[in-house]
């Protein structure tokens, strides 16, 4: 199963693609960060995020997309842009009929470190180890996106199949 | 100048298209609401919003798009979805190279009623009067979208031309 994880943001949107199945070793397919300039108009930044996500979907053809769930309580100054970047990722995935899932940061951390309150260094260390990389993934920002993708591989098979079935059912019903 | 106003929301996204120039009578071109079912998965609802906005852009070809600015402080339970719907509207407009503007609810109310704290009935009454309609626009939810479009016509010409020039400049520079 190939999963794209997205750590949404306007200035830096982390993207990580991982191959794996629960109980088998994981493989890193791609890691990167989509950046949009802070001085650019919001609408153009959203177009930049869409292009970046579409490019990753085109090149790596994931079967599912996992996006970090954004909470209204956190970082009030940036939360709207983060929510909008997350919305674009969901839109791009759903437009292609890909199943999507939202995982909280705590869920992703707990899945790969055993603790929902693990710090960034611990998450990066476990991502590096689980993907059997010689050094920490670069850019460092994107470790969270890989953590989401790994979380989804491990939690996700059943959820994704369910979501896909629901989508097919809904389409058939219309 | 033809302006699309968007009052963003996932359950009801108001859209209103108005023709006008500052100092001349305004004309209603279109008013409607894009609805997505609350029980549907978020990603699919965002696809529904995108389709609805694209449909309005295709049919009525506005020259500018005005979207209500969403604040993190308001309605915490629905604000993320509202921000994401607003993001989709901005994305659709910018993808076509249309200038976009964000106006606050207070700015729209003040532009058409003279008071930033006008209530819904007052906004609806002024929208009805300014567009010289025989009765209040239906659906009622969409009066706010029309108010945004009117606000943009009156405030907006200069802003839009500036934004368009900036977009052209930015594209040329890349």
The CATH number given to whatever domain includes residue A9 is: 3.30.420.10
Residues A50-102 pLDDT 10s: 999 999 999 999 999 999 998 876 666 788 999 999 999 999 999 999 999 99
Judged by CB atoms closer than 8 Å, whether chains meet at B87 and A83 is answered as yes
pLDDT in tens, A21-31: 988 899 999 99
Cα gap A123→A130, rounded to integer Å: 10
With CB atoms and an 8 Å threshold, state whether B83 touches A87: yes
Across the interface, do B42 and A102 touch by the CB < 8 Å criterion? yes
Q: Write b or e for each residue in B65-81: b if 16 or more Cβ atoms lie within 10 A of its Cβ, otherwise e.
A: bbbbbbebeeeeeebbb
pLDDT digit string (tens) for B115-169?
999 999 999 999 999 999 999 998 888 999 999 999 999 986 545 455 555 555 5
In total, how many domains does chain B have?
1
CA closest to B101 among chain A residues? A43
Distance from CA of A98 to the nearest CA of B (A): 10
Place of tokens 């085109």: A58
pLDDT in tens, A100-127: 999 999 999 999 999 999 999 999 999 9
Q: Helix A143-173 vs helix A105-113: angle between axes, to the nearest 10 degrees? A: 120
Task: For residue B76, list chain A residues with Cβ-Cβ distance below 8 A.
Answer: 72-73
| Alpha helices for B1-142 (secondary structure H) | 42-60, 76-95, 105-113, 120-130
pLDDT at B173: 40
pLDDT score recorded for residue B14: 97
pLDDT given at position A173 = 40
Domain assignment of residue B120, given as a range: 2-173
B7 is in an annotated binding site: yes
Under a CB-based contact definition with an 8 Å cutoff, are residues A5 and A16 in contact? yes
Range B28-42 average pLDDT:
97
Contact A27, A133 (CB under 8 A): no
Q: A17 to chain B nearest CA, in Å?
A: 19
Q: Is B7 a catalytic residue?
A: yes
């Amino acid at each position: 199963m190939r999963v794209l994880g997205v750590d949404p943001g306007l200035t830096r949107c982390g993207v990580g693609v991982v191959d794996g199945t629960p109980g088998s070793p994981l493989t890193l397919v791609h890691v990167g960060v989509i950046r949009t300039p802070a001085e650019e108009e919001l609408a153009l930044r959203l177009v930049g995020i869409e292009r970046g996500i579409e490019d990753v979907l085109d090149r790596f053809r994931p079967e599912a997309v996992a996006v970090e769930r954004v909470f209204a309580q956190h970082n009030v100054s940036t939360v709207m842009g983060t929510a909008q970047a997350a919305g674009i990722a969901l839109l791009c995935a759903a437009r292609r009929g890909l199943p999507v899932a939202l995982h909280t940061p705590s869920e992703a951390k707990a899945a790969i470190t055993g603790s929902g309150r693990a710090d960034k260094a611990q998450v990066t260390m476990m991502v590096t180890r689980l993907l059997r990389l010689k050094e920490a993934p670069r850019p460092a920002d994107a470790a969270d996106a890989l953590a989401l993708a790994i979380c989804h591989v491990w939690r996700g098979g059943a959820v994704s199949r369910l979501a896909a079935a629901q989508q097919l059912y809904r389409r058939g019903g219309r």
